Amino acid sequence: MAQFTPEERVVITWKGAGYSSEEIGRHRGMSASAVDTLISRAKAKVRASLGIDRKRTTSKPMGRPRGTGRAQQSGRESTSETPDGQ
């Protein structure tokens, strides 16, 4: 965290604790967009320090791979046992 400015450190710490940009901005006396800008700059510094080129990375949706959703499982009986072995 040495590469972050003191303001970036405060903002990313609060964001990591679950506060919204609006809440952080209200407390720090800045707009939510200013908070978001600080967070974006901090993320860019992390990517740069890791050697990650954002333009070259592809964003893939997270979640279950196709074909493994609950829709396929409906209609089948469950074969799992209960904790008591029944």
Is 78 a member of any domain? Answer: no
User: What average pLDDT score do residues 62-86 get?
Assistant: 55
Specify the number of domains making up the chain.
1
Is 60 a member of any domain? Answer: no
pLDDT at 53: 78
Kindly report the pTM of this predicted structure: 0.59
Is 22 a member of any domain? Answer: yes
Is 83 a member of any domain? Answer: no
pLDDT digits (tens, 9 = 90+) for 17-54: 999 999 999 999 999 999 999 999 999 999 998 888 77
Non-local (6+) Cβ contacts of 9 within 8 A are 1
Is 16 a member of any domain? Answer: yes
Burial class, 24, CB count within 10 angstroms (exposed 0-12 / middle 13-18 / buried 19+) = buried
Q: What span, in angstroms and rounded, lies between the C-alpha atoms of 10 and 46?
A: 16
Structural domain for 26, as ranges: 6-50
